Structure 1
């Protein structure tokens, strides 16, 4: 669901000019099922990333500027703390290797690096058009 949440937030960010957008409109723009978008919108609003208004002129809009929202914020809104493994969380003892695992003390370092990488990608970066790839010069063509 985190990947769909990023897609929904990128679509919402393209409406940053102050216009509000509905969950149905976001579903149409992204090609995601409306119930999925509605569920994601609820999570994203609860996390303070989207703001919802009812009535005439109502709808959804970003709760803060797109430049101030990162992929890490979006992923955590839907999935919770970013981690490759949950064994480092208090009360999580589901791994059969726990007693002999020499990597367990190092997982927080890995998890923080992953979170840092995602925190370095602002939502605005996901709404910019990428340059069209140029063909290779003829001397490099196969």
Structure 2
């Protein structure tokens, strides 16, 4: 059974849903915004906040975390702003999300081997482990550059 179907059965419509936080969404969108700025230019956080509809105070915290993790570089002063800490082709969605959320774990029993005394005999643990591995592979396979390119395609298709 494809992993999407497995997750659909585990998280049916109308029930509890597994989801990343708004912080993850805002972080990816902010990074896409910075990546779309012409080379050599600095992105201004108040402009990112406006374009991406992210509360300024929230964006300030996000930029701080992304900077600590080396995904952004900040410059202060009248001519200050932010730029990518490394090329967009070298930044993955997983790196962005984990910079602001910490390690991605679908279930508590996946945090460390042996965390749950049932993990070696539990068939559900195997499903969680496979689902997490597939999710992490997918997030690792999508770069910031991929997202920026895809956004341009979607905007062109939408006539935006």
CA contact (8 A) 1:67 1:124 kept: yes
**Counterparts of 1:3 and 1:73, CA distance in 2:** 13
* The structure with more helix, counted as a fraction of residues: 2
User: How many residues were matched structurally?
Assistant: 130
Structural RMSD (CA): 2.4
Aligned to 2:20: none
Aligned match for 2:124, one of 99, 103, 106: 103
Instruction: Provide closer, same or farther for how the CA distance between residues 92 and 8 of structure 1 changes in structure 2, counting only shifts above 3 A.
Output: farther
Gaps of 5+ in 1: 134-142
The aligned runs of 1:117-136 (5 Å cut-off) are: 117-128=138-149, 129-130=152-153, 131-132=156-157
Give how far 1:107 is off. 3.3
Find the structure with the greater CA-based Rg. Answer: 1
Aligned residue for 2:132, secondary structure, equals helix
Give how far 1:112 is off. 2.2
Query: After TM superposition, which residue ranges in structure 1, 4 or more long, deviate above 6 angstroms?
Result: none
The aligned runs of 1:14-33 (5 Å cut-off) are: 14-33=36-55
Give how far 1:103 is off. 2.1
Aligned to 1:12: 34
Give how far 1:83 is off. 2.2
**Counterparts of 2:107 and 2:65, CA distance in 1:** 22
Aligned to 1:69: 91
**What is the CA deviation profile of residues 77-124 of structure 1, one whole-angstrom value per residue up to 9, with x for unaligned ones?**
11111221122224966xxx97x8432255333322211111111101
Tell me: higher relative CO, structure 1 or 2? Use CA pairs within 8 A at least 6 residues apart.
1
Gaps of 5+ in 2: 1-22
CA contact (8 A) 1:82 1:114 kept: no
**TM-score normalized by structure 2?**
0.71
